[in-house]
Chain A
Amino acid sequence: MKINPDFVERLIVRFIKEEFSKLNFETGILGLSGGLDSSVCAFLSVKALGPKNIIGLIMPYKNTFSKDVKDAENIASHLGISSRVIDISPMVDAYYVNYPTKSKILKGNKMARERMSILYDVSARERALILGTSNKTELLLGYGTIHGDMACAINPLGDLYKTQIRQLARHLKIPDKIVKKKPTAGLWSGQTDEGELGLTYTKIDRILYQLVDLKKMKNEVTSSGFPKQDVEKIIKLIKGSEFKRKMPPIPKISHRTVGHDFLYPFDRSK
């Protein structure tokens, strides 16, 4: 699971540069939460495109995460990128006036999609491309809101586990405060990823690495010392979230069908 942060930095910076040039964009935009992933993504994007070409959007709901807003603003000013704070509470609350709910998950998802909607709107106004900040751990567990925080044009950190991103963050000299912060999806106050998942990222990533990268079977992973219930929980999360990693299925009835046998690369004629 060890990475060479120098090498990984080179790979990802090059990826961002190349994608922007292929897609003919100069400006990148991303949501800044004040957490680890978006901070790392912002640092790498600045290295690839320069601070003048990065816009950070900070989108709090009311004042539930005022400390995180401050951290995000600090990251933006440290990097010298332009940032904007857009409060999403009026839009979210307006909806719930007519359709109230007590479900934290529903509200959290709504907020994530509100942020997505604003990111896409501002990206079109600024002719900017959206940089995603989902990591490999989240993508595999489905720990993200479909069409919410998972929505983006390119996803530079998508093949790095959370713990590897932490390693990269230290190398990038991201303030310790951010690196050591308890990861949270920010869906509600007091939520932490590890609390909600019931496992630490260190444990999760080790198990995922065994299952995914080393392609080990469940019993091979448990017999190498990982608790059965943890491994089973992770497998269940992976299986249950396939829909978040795929385009929706289309019934194939013609000779040539989108998603089945109309097969072109994303980078077609770029």
Chain B
Amino acid sequence: MKVALAQIRPVLGNIRENFLMHIDYIQRAKKKKADLLVFPELSLTGYTLMDMVEEVALQPHTDPIFKKFKALSQDLSFIVGFVEEREKGLFLNSAAFFSQNKILHIHRKVYLPTYGMFEEMKFFGQGRNFTTFLTPFGKAGMMVCYDFLHLGSNYLLFVGGSELIIVISAAPGRGLSDQETYASSRMWELMGESISHFTQTFVIYCNRVGYEDGKSFAGGSFIFNPGGQLIARSPYVDEDFLVKEIDLEDIRKFRKKRPYRRDDKPEVICEALKRVIENYED
């Protein structure tokens, strides 16, 4: 299958302009005969929304933009990042998977970074689940940015039988060295390498670029194969449209070599977790 990553620079708070940008990339992906197109976190709205969250929120099942997206997803699946008004006044940082004229799945960001430069919990409610769903390309699981930097979330998608882990991100770059990249970009790649190796899934990570209030989104979107090997990466910092053919047979190949999935023991983990939780001291 062919995967396309749109490493774009959304316009902050301007849904109309971002919608047109999405349409443009959807058409480009179709021309390239891609099967799956991934946009970054909050691709429809921009990231640093603060009190603008409620102005750009939409309801996925009734919104006219999403109706158009559904109509465009007959021969191309794609993932869009948006602000979801899940209930009246409850806003979530969400990712929707469009395919076959439907929304196949919506993932709501669970881990909302609220430290240092991040203040997401101030403006968003949190999702409560990591689950896999069936796509035309096998079972997949989605995450939004900081979700991916937690072992538990990755484990849940692994246990759920995921063959593709798709992460949409708005990760600002930080940390300078003598390397021609941010230190934080290396952290994401390290995670991509480890998770793809230990879950034996394709890890598809789409980050954005551009500045918002001085924050510099680092780009460097990537795809790791189920053997922990980097097979494609977009440039850091610059806008990019990456299209890469991946071979889903690789999943079988690597799982035959090292049977991590066969030998996994979710019951043991679950029981042990319960004991840990029961024995919390406070």
Contact = CB atoms under 8 A, between A and B. Distances in A.
Interface of A: 2-4, 6-8, 10-11, 14-15, 18-19, 164, 262-270
Contacts of A269: 12-14
Which one of A2, A7, A8, A265 has the greatest number of beta carbons of chain B within 10 Å? A265
B150 to A, nearest CB: 22
B12 A15 contact: no
A266 B52 CA distance: 12
A266 B214 CA distance: 9
A3 B50 contact: no
Given A3-B176, A268-B12, A11 B52 contact: no
Given A18-B211, A267-B48, A267-B213, 12 more contacts: A2-B176, A2-B177, A3-B177, A4-B179, A7-B176, A19-B211, A263-B50, A265-B48, A265-B212, A266-B214, A269-B12, A270-B11
Given A11-B216, A267-B48, A267-B212, A4 B177 contact: yes
Q: Is the interface of B mostly helix, strand, loop or mixed?
A: loop
Interface in B201-259: 210-214, 216, 237
A265 B213 contact: yes
A10 B179 CA distance: 13
5 contacts: A3-B178, A7-B179, A10-B237, A19-B211, A270-B12
B282 interface: no
Given A14-B211, A18-B211, A265 B178 contact: no
B217 to A, nearest CB: 11
B50 A265 contact: yes
A6 B211 CA distance: 18
Interface residues of B, number: 22
Contacts of A11: 216, 237
Contacts of A267: 12, 48, 211-213
B52 to A, nearest CB: 7
B180 interface: yes
A264 B123 CA distance: 11
B19 to A, nearest CB: 16
A269 B46 CA distance: 10
A96 B102 CA distance: 74
A15 B210 CA distance: 8
A87 B211 CA distance: 37
Contacts of B48: 265, 267
A263 B52 CA distance: 8
Contacts of B49: 265
Given A3-B176, A4-B177, A265-B12, A18 B210 contact: yes
A270 B214 CA distance: 13
A135 B11 CA distance: 28
Nearest to A215: B116
Pick from B14, B214, B216, B237 the residue with the most CB of A within 10 Å: B214
A169 B181 CA distance: 19
Given A7-B180, A15-B211, A264 B51 contact: yes
Nearest to A164: B176
A154 to B, nearest CB: 8
B177 A263 contact: no
Contact of A8 (B12, B176, B212, B213): B176
Nearest to A265: B48
Contacts of B213: 265-267
A4 B176 contact: yes
Nearest to A10: B237
Contacts of A19: 211
A158 to B, nearest CB: 8
A262 B49 CA distance: 12
A238 to B, nearest CB: 18
Contacts of B181: 7
